[in-house]
Amino acid sequence: MKDGKHITMGIESSCDETAIAVLADGREILSNVISSQIEIHKEYGGVVPEIASRHHLNNIPFVFQKALREANLGLTEVDEIGVTAGPGLAGALLMGTAFAKAVSAASGVPLVGVHHIQAHILANTIEHPDLEPPFLSLVVSGGHTHLIEVLGYNEFKILGATRDDAVGEAYDKVARVIGLGYPGGPKVDRLAKEGDPHAIEFKRVYLEKDSLDFSFSGTKTGVINYLHSAQQRGEEVKAADVAASFQQAVIDVIVDKAMWALDRTGYAGLAAAGGVACNSALRAALAAALESRGKKLWIPSPILCTDNGAMVAAAAYRKARLGLFATDRLDCFPGLNIETQLYKLDE
């Protein structure tokens, strides 16, 4: 507690980012430190020989200190420490959970295990006090594409998920083939603004009738086939049209399926989450579709969409209020299932 406020720390290291944040009362961001966005080199005068984004072991102590310093508080004032325990890369998750357990053991601050997707979804609760379960969530990121019913802060039902590429990944791969470099999701979004979204009709993959699952691999391959055949015919390709048309094909399917899920479940609105929720065209298309139905759209600010510690703290705050704490045996679970395995985090 500090100044009568409940303090939660959140630690995220499931993939590329090492990120630690401190929240007050589950909503007020006191600090939100993300390793790729700080210049540790400069700040620590070359203490760390090499900072790569995935070198969590090197990053984590500095990110931790910076998160506490920016929040202007000491560890004894923290009420609980949340940590992403899965899903993700085993070696990366392990750094976060081992660090969190060590800090918890040394300080006596209770530990909360958090599911990465749960954290993305509950990032919405930081800025949107009107959002309470149950609601529908669309999670779109580099590694995930899900339509999820949020039945409670720790209870989820997957309505649909990708069967191959995640949407952000399809963006990155298209960026690669049209020469924008990798990762290039945001670059496709920018380039698409200059192109005609109906110049090329790429395949929209809806799978079986009524399915809420996604498949983006075929659309990606469609873009590659289009580029190959244009090349063989010696035709010039307008990259902006390819980007815009690809983006339109992907967004059409996502928005349609999200609306089907909303019609089926009858919730008052949709909470979007994940890095691709930053995509301007997707935001606009979702907003238009929801408005025409008289439904609400919740989306976190861009900094809370990509992997960050604040979302983990937000989820940990909710779990702590439900009394769901982890023991010192908390492990990491690379394949953690959000529907059936959340109890593993609290055992």
**Vertex 312 angle, CA 283 and 163, to 5°:** 55
Count CB atoms within 10 A of the CB of residue 177.
17
Distance CA 86, CA 215 (A): 23
Distance CA 157, CA 151 (A): 7
Give the residue with the Cβ less far from other proteins, 14 or 31: 14
Which residues of this protein are in contact with other proteins, per CB under 8 A? 15, 52, 54-55, 57, 87-92, 141-143, 161-166, 168-169, 172-173, 176-177, 182, 217, 220-221, 224-225, 228, 334-335
Distance CA 6, CA 27 (A): 10
* Least gap, CB of 66 to other proteins (angstroms): 22
Give the residue with the Cβ less far from other proteins, 12 or 172: 172
Which residue has 């940590």 as its token pair?
83
- Encoded tokens for 125: 């609760």
* Least gap, CB of 208 to other proteins (angstroms): 14
- Encoded tokens for 243: 């980007």
Give the residue with the Cβ less far from other proteins, 84 or 125: 84
Give the residue with the Cβ less far from other proteins, 58 or 124: 58
* Least gap, CB of 67 to other proteins (angstroms): 23
Query: Hey, is 307 helix, strand or coil?
Result: coil
Give the residue with the Cβ less far from other proteins, 87 or 96: 87
* Least gap, CB of 1 to other proteins (angstroms): 37
- Short-list 300, 297, 329, CA closest to 119: 300
* Least gap, CB of 213 to other proteins (angstroms): 9
